Structure formats: C-alpha cells, structure tokens
Structure 1
Amino acid sequence: MYVIKKLSVMVFTLWVITTVTFLIMHIIPGDPFSSDAKIFPEEVIQNMRAKYHLDEPLWNQYVAYLDGVVHFDFGESVQSTGQGVSEIITTGFGPSAIIGLQALIISLLVGIAAGTFAALYHGKVIDYGVSLLAILGISIPSFILAPLFIQVFAIQFELLPVASWGTFEHTVLPSFALALGPIAVITRFVRSNMIEVLQSDYIKLARAKGIPIKKIIIRHALRNAIVPVLTFVGPLMAGLLTGTFVIEKIFSIPGLGKYFVDSIFNRDYPVIMGTTIFYSALLIACIFITDIIHRIVDPRIRSIT
C-alpha cells in the first residue's frame, strides 16, 4: 500500500512538472524560430512552426506532448534537425551517469569512513584535521578544484589525461572533482551522528558486556549513524547522475548537462522541456528509492507509516 501511494504521488508530481514546464515554454514571448525571422522568408518560418505544431491551439499541443512524454518521445530538436530529444537524452546521459556513479561511490565510501574515523577520535588532532578538511571541501567549489586537478595530476605529473572522453582514465579526475563536495557533507553528517550514537546507552551496554569495539562500531553504531545520511543521498544521487555543466565543460565531457545548457542558449524548447522532465523524473525516482532503503534500514519508519 505504501509503495502504491508513493508511486501515485510520483506520477502526479511528474505530471505537474510536465504541465508547468510546457506552459512556461509556451507563455514566454517568441518561439525557437523568432531569431530566424530576419534570415529566412516568412513562408519558411511558417513551415517550421507547422512542423513543430506551434501553429496549433495550445490545448492540442499539450495533449500531443503529454502523449509523447508517456511514450518517452519528447519530439525533435529544433537546432539538431532530424535528431530526437530522446536520442539526445540517452546519448548525453551515458557519460553523465558514469561520472555520477563513480562520484557517488567515492562520496559514500570516503565520506562514511572519514566521518566514522573522526568520531572515534573525537576531540583529538585527527578529528580536528578531518573537520577542517571537510569545511574546506564544502567551501571550495568544484570548478576551482577541477582546474587544480588538471594542473597537478595531468600537466605537472602526467598521471592522467587532461580532458576528453573515451577511457576509464578520462573519468578519474572529473569523478573526484565532482565528489569532493559531497564527501565533505557526508563526512560532517556521519561524524555528528556517530558521536551521538557512540554516547547512547545501548552502545555503553554493549561495551560493558565485553563485545569487541570493532563489532560494536560496524554492526550497531555505524548502521544507526548512516540512517540520517540516506535523506541526503537521494537528491545527491540525482544531481551526480545528471552531471554538472561546469565539470563537463572543463573536462570536455559530452554529458547531459552540456546539452541542457546549450539548448537554453539556442532556445531549443523541445530539448529544454525533455531534459527538464528527465531531470525531474530521475530526482523523484532517486528519492523514492532512498525512501524504500530508509524503511528497510530503519524499522522505526515502517512502524510509523
């Protein structure tokens, strides 16, 4: 019942986003061909508008677009003639997803480990050092770190390629540049939660019973400490999977973020609407998956809902 309810909310939310996106794109002045009015004859412009059904009533366009969205057909790109928006999304999502998944795995592994390590040495030099690095990681944006990584690891030491796309080596620097911010946030989350958990009564009781500290940390403390982090993982996952335009631009990655920003500058409305809906669907799906995992990990959630 819970899953059905959540799926219903997801579908409704996606419908609202689709409707709002459609209306915004059609309410703003002009259309994708307004800038071409001085270049091409009026007859050519009218034919192009007819091809993209812009000469039809708004309601007819809306119904046709909804039908296309249901079948994952967002129409044809205005700028890339003959190329469907769905094709652009699937092409661009591949590189973005690879970088994003690697960044997500790095963020979780390093962030959880660093946060746990800092909590175990709470109030000591190691704790202060990890906390300082976490603050720096949050403060320094990825577009500052990315050129620094290129300068150090690609140009100075020649350990990795500068940019471009094609091999695993090309994914290392952008993945770490994208992951450092989330690593810092997760580290602080886990550290504060772990400190609180380690001071709880059941942990003290487990220590009094003589249970090995390693077993206490892994089986009891860490499990409860990372539960609150799951609420952050959903949006983080969606953000990393869809990529960031800045990182993709710096490392010359043909990802979805690049296509999305290019479509805004080119007034390519079908691509703007298609990528917006895809971003939204991915975010909603990631939050839904996170909720399910949260319920599995934390039995208290199941008893409430």
Structure 2
Amino acid sequence: MNKEVYEQLLQIIQEDNIAIDEWLKNHTYTRLGGKADFFITPTTYEEVQNLVKFCNEKAVPLTLIGNGSNLIVRDGGIRGIVLSLKKLTTIHVEGTSVIAQSGAAIIDTSKVALEAKLTGLEFACGIPGTVGGALFMNAGAYGGEIKDVLEYALVVTKNGEITKKMAADLQLAYRYSNISENGDIVLEAVFQLKKGNYNEIKAIMDDLTYRRESKQPLEYPSCGSVFKRPPGYFAGKLIQDSHLQGVRIGGAEVSKKHAGFIVNVDNATATEYISLIEHVQKTVKEKFNVELEREVRIIGEDENN
C-alpha cells in the first residue's frame, strides 16, 4: 500500500517534499509524537489542491499540522498523509494590508507589519504558531485576536477547490473557527491594518515580548497554554492554587514558572504528557468544581494501536 501510494504521490509532489516514516516529535513544540506514514511539505497551492483531490480519490487519510506549537501527537503517530505547509512562508504588504502564506510564522507577520508602520498585529508578536494555525484557533494574546484584523483567507476546500472565505464566514470566536469542521486548509490570510507610528508599534511589541519571556517557561519544550480560560477564572491561578506546580508524570511537569504550562523536562512521552493534563483537570475539578477545557489539540494513535 505505502509503496503504491508513494509512486502515485510522486506524480503530484516533488520527491524532495515527501518523507516516509517521519518522526513527528521532530515537528512539534512539545517534542512528542510517533511516526507519520508520509510527511508532505508542498511548495505551491496547486500541490496542496492536488494532494487533497488525491486523498479523496484514493481514500487516504489526510492530517494537517501547522508548526506543531499547539499540538500533541500521540506516541503511535499518524496513519496516511501528514501535510505541513511550512514551506509556504511568503509575506508581503499591499497598502495597509499584510498578505501572509499559511506556513509563515505569525510572529514574522507582525514584524513585517511593524516594518511597514502598520498597527493592529502587535498582540501576535509572541504567538509561536503559523498564520494558518492562528486562523484555525483564532489565536489571541494581550487583548487582541485574529478576528480583530483578518479580512479574508484563501483556502482549499475538502473537495479540492481554492476559494476565498471572508472573516465572517469563519465564525471566529474565542479560540475557535469553523475551519476544521468545514475541512478547509488555509493557504493564505489577508490582514487589514492601520497606519501607525513605527516607534509606538515597536514599543508595544517590545513590552509584550518582555512580558512573555519573563513569565513563560520558554527554556523547555511545551505546547504553550494548555487550557482555555474558564469563565470567571484564570487557568494558571486555579492550577497554582491546587498546588500542582512541579508535579511530574514521567518526563512531563507542570511548570514551576507558569502553572498554565506543562513542560517536557526529560524526554517525556505523549502518554505521560496527556496523563498529566488529565491529572490537572481532575484535581482542579475536585478542588474548585471548575472544568478546565483543553486549548491544545491531541491527535494521532496510541502506541499499542
């Protein structure tokens, strides 16, 4: 099956952009995850489009990952094709719009906006995901969200058609869009910004960067904030008040620096990391009767599958 699929993939994707039995822990911020049968990194929109059509025709499972910053892949890896758009990274400016391809870092996009003296994307200067990932979950920080600045996105639909989706079409809400439910793959995003003062924009970004670096445990692999903010509470404060900081399962630890983070301090497995997430949820529920909802996505198969 795999040899046959590989031969067929060579008809639509350049050989350099196809990897077989690729360790996904090399592509996630947590450094967790088993192997992908195929790991594919297209360089054109047409390749993405053709790949979607191919998977539909051949009934091959297709899983999209961004840069793996808000993602846990289980130890058994992912069957079929894993699609990464990390080679689609072009960012350019037209007037007060910044147009960024899906695989571009949202941090880099905010820097391009700064250089163009455009304001509105300052909040994104510390978000570690890609543009596509930022749209996927309506990423936000420090009072700003993608929905505040997005004009439209170019997507490949689940049927393999390239189409434009306006921001309103994506139903953007707190850490939510309908992109996943619709089966869309973001190719590029257009952000509508406003003219601003370079020094003022840079001062805001410098302040947000300092606040992030001083508070977050960036020295260890992690998925960022594990949980969504529960209404009326802060997840980190609930975890801290549950005396969970420093608690470990295997190589995974609730960060001593920021309780909202779980860090991979010693070659943790995905199973250990997920078990610690569940332990935190259970403890906070017992102590405060608050349900902590995961912000991080968990995908893939358990190792014994």
User: Greater RCO between the two (CA within 8 Å, min separation 6)?
Assistant: 1
TM-score normalised over the length of structure 1: 0.20
